[in-house]
Structure 1
Amino acid sequence: MEEVIIVGGGPAGLYSAFYCGLRGMSVKLIEAKPYLGGKLNVYKEKNIWDIGGVTPQPAENIVASLIQQADAFEPTYVLGKKVVNITKEKNQFCVQTEDGEQHFSKSVILGTGTGIITPKKLEFDYLESFEKSNLHYEVGSIESFRQKKVMITGGNDSAIQWAKALAEVAEKVYLVYRKDLFRGYETEVESVLSHEKITCLMEKKITDFTSRDNSRIDSVKVSHVVSEIAEDIDVDEVLVCHGFERNNPLINNVSEFELIDELFFKTTTVGETSVDGVFAAGDAASYDGKVRLIAGAFHDAVNASNHAKKKIDPEATDGGMVSSHHDELQSRKVIVQS
């Protein structure tokens, strides 16, 4: 039995794994996806600016650093397993995954974000082969769009930002949105509307694809949402930015959790949920003064880890040792010297 089970392998979960290790606790981290990093994997090549003292760098670099840091105390990782229930008997928690596996611990930290995310797909039927060629729901490599004609559908911040980013390498970008106004920040929207490589197709939506060989999209049918007048546009790549479906089975299956907006776990400022011994960190948590940035997730992780330690061992100190004083960290050479 572990001292702590962490549910979720995003920034909050990974930093909790490190800090629980720093506090001398055994850790098992369970992640629904087959990889770590959480939502940062959706925008691997976008620069992250909101971590103090860390120069802006691609999200995939941040993920790699978080994993390296979490590995310092050798947590057990269980990947590709969706946690669907948590039960408590006396002072022991049973964390159950969708396949029926049971994992036991003395405390639990929820780093589930806003749930397991899957991209919202287009509303009409199309060949699955397109998703293996040039229909994308996330950007794996910006460079793969170089000198291509790209069509992006969506009007949210993500669609606008990807239009700007891909316009730096693409031959042409079409941005299709079903409404007459984008939902992004004014300055971002203006920069897209005035960009010489970006053509905005407002009050329109993608309604069909044409393919010569049924393996990749050659042209897109774009229809006006009111008049239904359509035009076919030749493209090389299509990117869908319609947001995400979110699923957190724990919200539905554990009635003891008090929720905020039916999406977040209501916590104290130190991460305590309504279930004694279960803590939350990062986007999963909601409390007065909550900071919804990666930097805020690290703050939450420290609080959750410290209070998990106190729950397990009431005689433990309130906080952990400063890392630069930690002999084991020094011996592992986790701290990189410049």
Structure 2
Amino acid sequence: MDTVYDVLIIGGGPAGLYASFYAGLRDMSVALFEAQSELGGKLNFYPEKMVWDVGALPPTKGYKVKEYLQKQATLFEPAIYTNTTIKEWQKEDNRFVLTDQNGCLYYGKTVLVAIGGGVISPQKLTCPIADGLAAAIHYEFPNQQAIDGKTLVISGGGDAAVDYAIEAQSYGAKVTLCYRGETLKAHEAQVKKLRELDIEVLTNQTILSVAAGDGSSTMALQLQANEAKTAVTVPCDHLLIQHGYDRDTSLLDQEVIALARHSEFYLHCASPTKTSAAGMFAAGDIHYFDGKVNLLVGAFQDATLAVNQIKQFIDPQSVAYGMVSSHNEKFHEKNQALMAHDQEKSE
């Protein structure tokens, strides 16, 4: 017999992960689907950057925030599917049916869409690349220990590229920024800071190829100015590509259950987290309503509100929100174990 979950969560970023935890807290069964190989959503794109906007959590690197969220999300043993792209949704016999890229079907009483900016993947370098250099070519900010004292070339001219150049230099890297355009597109204050730090900037430059280094460096980049006929060689140890992201929006474009949209992409919710289709909800950056807060803390609020609305959609007689964690019986045994552990450490 097919399992029918209380809620099918599409998206394994911060909003989806927190919704998984809170739905379990409210005694609902959960299946969560993430298109990428790892949970965490946008946190995977800045694992080494500090996250400051999580209440009561001190400045914490992105990868640690992701670890905490994953551990919390799995507390009530949801079914979690990674490398699983939901391609279609429909409704049959008063239940929702999701279909993944392999044709597998999943059934639920409700659906929570938490896909952030959509299924995104970094635009890859398309020029010829010599074998054996993959570990030194990055699409997310590299480990700070790996670049300390090394040469790093960052390709890109937007906010992320400039921010990363400034941050990488603070970690001890010798940084060069190269950009195919004539003028950097990043915020002018950051561009000014980049100049003040004397970070080398090469504009009107395109990477033609990436060859192995000569022993003094890991690789040699062949760069060519837009109107030049000859290329120049730039040696480096690491290469960070920041050329933007490709976004797959096909899930939202289907007509079987068409959802109201805002600015041609975001789900428009007349009231927070309620989409235009009964039984389908949204949380995080994917949805829009008046007063929406596009911060990490806003994703947690969205997830909580959505789960409470889902609970009452399934059971109209249920209470409006879950009991606070400090008094919730579900945490009694876990609290006892934590206190015993703290006692052992203090002795």
Do they fold alike, i.e. is TM over 0.5?
yes
Q: Call closer, same or farther: CA 1:139–1:291 in 2, change over 3 Å.
A: same
- Distance (Å, rounded) in 2 between the aligned partners of 1:192 and 1:212: 27
Q: Call closer, same or farther: CA 1:70–1:112 in 2, change over 3 Å.
A: same
Q: Does 1:230 align with 2:231?
A: yes
TM-score, normalised by the number of residues in structure 2: 0.90
Q: Which residue of 1 aligns with 2:295?
A: 293
- Distance (Å, rounded) in 2 between the aligned partners of 1:155 and 1:185: 10
Give the CA deviation at 1:160: 1.2
Q: Call closer, same or farther: CA 1:334–1:10 in 2, change over 3 Å.
A: farther
Listed one character per residue, the Cα deviations across residues 46-95 of structure 1 (whole Å, up to 9, x for unaligned) are 10012222211001111111112222222111121111111112420111
**Secondary structure class of the residue paired with 1:324:** coil
Q: Does 1:241 align with 2:242?
A: yes
**Secondary structure class of the residue paired with 1:14:** helix
Is this contact kept in 2: 1:50–1:295, CA < 8 A? yes
Unaligned runs of at least 5 residues, structure 2: 343-347
Give the CA deviation at 1:122: 2.5
Q: Which residue of 2 aligns with 1:138?
A: 140
Q: Which residue of 1 aligns with 2:271?
A: 269
Match of 1:32 among 31, 35, 52: 35
Unaligned runs of at least 5 residues, structure 1: none
Q: Call closer, same or farther: CA 1:263–1:336 in 2, change over 3 Å.
A: farther
Q: Call closer, same or farther: CA 1:268–1:320 in 2, change over 3 Å.
A: farther
Is this contact kept in 1: 2:22–2:307, CA < 8 A? yes
Q: Which residue of 2 aligns with 1:81?
A: 84
Give the CA deviation at 1:263: 2.2
Match of 1:65 among 64, 68, 71: 68
Q: Which residue of 2 aligns with 1:17?
A: 20
Q: Which residue of 1 aligns with 2:209?
A: 208
Listed one character per residue, the Cα deviations across residues 195-242 of structure 1 (whole Å, up to 9, x for unaligned) are 14x2011232222223369xx962112222244553211111111111
Is this contact kept in 2: 1:83–1:249, CA < 8 A? no
**Secondary structure class of the residue paired with 1:290:** coil
Is this contact kept in 1: 2:112–2:283, CA < 8 A? yes
Is this contact kept in 1: 2:30–2:78, CA < 8 A? yes
- Distance (Å, rounded) in 1 between the aligned partners of 2:38 and 2:86: 15
Match of 1:333 among 332, 335, 339: 335
Q: Which residue of 2 aligns with 1:42?
A: 45
Match of 1:93 among 93, 96, 104: 96
- Distance (Å, rounded) in 1 between the aligned partners of 2:300 and 2:124: 32
**Secondary structure class of the residue paired with 2:54:** coil
Root-mean-square deviation (Å)? 2.2
**Secondary structure class of the residue paired with 2:74:** helix
Partner amino acid for 2:253?
A: N
Listed one character per residue, the Cα deviations across residues 239-277 of structure 1 (whole Å, up to 9, x for unaligned) are 111111111331133451222233211123321112210
Aligned sequence identity (%): 34
- Distance (Å, rounded) in 2 between the aligned partners of 1:99 and 1:106: 22
Partner amino acid for 1:261?
A: S
**Secondary structure class of the residue paired with 1:138:** coil
- Which 4+ stretches in 1 moved above 6 angstroms? 334-338
Q: How many residues align?
A: 334
**Secondary structure class of the residue paired with 1:329:** helix
Give the CA deviation at 1:129: 4.1
**Secondary structure class of the residue paired with 1:19:** helix
Give the CA deviation at 1:334: 9.5
- Distance (Å, rounded) in 1 between the aligned partners of 2:187 and 2:265: 24
Is 179-188 or 282-291 further displaced after alignment? 179-188
Is 240-249 or 221-230 further displaced after alignment? 221-230
Q: Aligned ranges for residues 144-163 of structure 1 at < 5 Å? A: 144-163=146-165
- Distance (Å, rounded) in 2 between the aligned partners of 1:37 and 1:335: 27
Q: Does 1:111 align with 2:111?
A: no
Partner amino acid for 2:259?
A: F
Q: Call closer, same or farther: CA 1:323–1:238 in 2, change over 3 Å.
A: same
- Distance (Å, rounded) in 2 between the aligned partners of 1:333 and 1:228: 69
TM-score, normalised by the number of residues in structure 1: 0.92
